[in-house]
């Protein structure tokens, strides 16, 4: 009898793994290896949905008998996609650009099960406080901005940069739990939050 977890998380993100465990879902991680370059002129909403679908398809091709879940998160500023910083200096530039203004965080979630693909989109409006150069420098030097869309993680020290949020807090972290639960229930799964 196969004792493998029923779900494969097609992501190497430790934040997504933490969030999925939070709702009691047993899973294993198999990161998707795809080209994440936006297409020329591609709208942000189309990009995040395409990425989630391509990630889930890449891993589902290897595990046709399992439920595969993937997600993609982008920070959107004036319609422009802000992905992960290329360097710490780039992270400082990005945070300066987010300072004292609003942006959106879009996270698309896709689930593949028995040749069916379902997806949901979470869009959250985030208002940042005015940040000083020193605050930005201290935060970036801590390493917390590394490898995060928009150069910040709301669940860390950057949480104090957020004046207001309208939408999904877990979506800003990288996996909107409400939308994820909706998709997993469609596969017939029973979720038991707290049973990690």
Instruction: Reply yes or no on whether 146 is catalytic.
Output: no
Residues 6+ apart with CB under 8 A from 58: 10, 32, 33, 34
CA distance between the termini of the chain: 22
Number of residues that this document lists for the chain: 196
Q: What is the 8-class DSSP label of residue 37? A: P
Which of 72, 115, 141, 146 is an active site residue? 72
CB 74 within 8 A of CB 44: yes
Bridge partners of 104?
76, 125
Q: For residues 174 and 64, give the distance between their C-alpha atoms in angstroms, rounded to a whole number.
A: 25
Q: For residues 66 and 145, give the distance between their C-alpha atoms in angstroms, rounded to a whole number.
A: 33
Q: Which residues form the catalytic set?
A: 72
């Amino acid at each position: 009898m196969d004792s493998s977890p029923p779900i494969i998380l097609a992501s190497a993100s430790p934040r997504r793994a933490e969030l999925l465990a939070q709702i009691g879902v047993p899973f294993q991680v198999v990161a998707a290896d795809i080209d994440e370059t936006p297409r020329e002129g591609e709208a942000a909403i189309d990009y995040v949905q395409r990425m989630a679908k391509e990630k889930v398809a890449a891993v589902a091709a290897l595990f046709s008998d399992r439920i595969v879940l993937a997600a993609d998160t982008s920070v959107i500023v004036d319609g422009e996609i802000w992905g992960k910083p290329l360097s710490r200096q780039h992270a400082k530039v990005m945070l300066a650009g987010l300072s004292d203004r609003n942006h959106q965080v879009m996270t698309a979630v896709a689930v593949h099960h028995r040749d069916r693909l379902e997806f949901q989109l979470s869009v959250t409006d985030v208002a940042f406080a005015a940040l000083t150069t020193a605050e930005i420098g201290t935060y970036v030097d801590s390493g917390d901005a590394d490898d995060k869309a928009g150069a910040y993680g709301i669940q860390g020290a950057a949480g104090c940069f957020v004046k207001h949020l309208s939408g999904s807090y877990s979506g800003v972290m990288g996996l909107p739990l409400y939308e994820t639960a909706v998709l997993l229930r469609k596969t017939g799964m029973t979720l038991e939050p707290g049973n990690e």
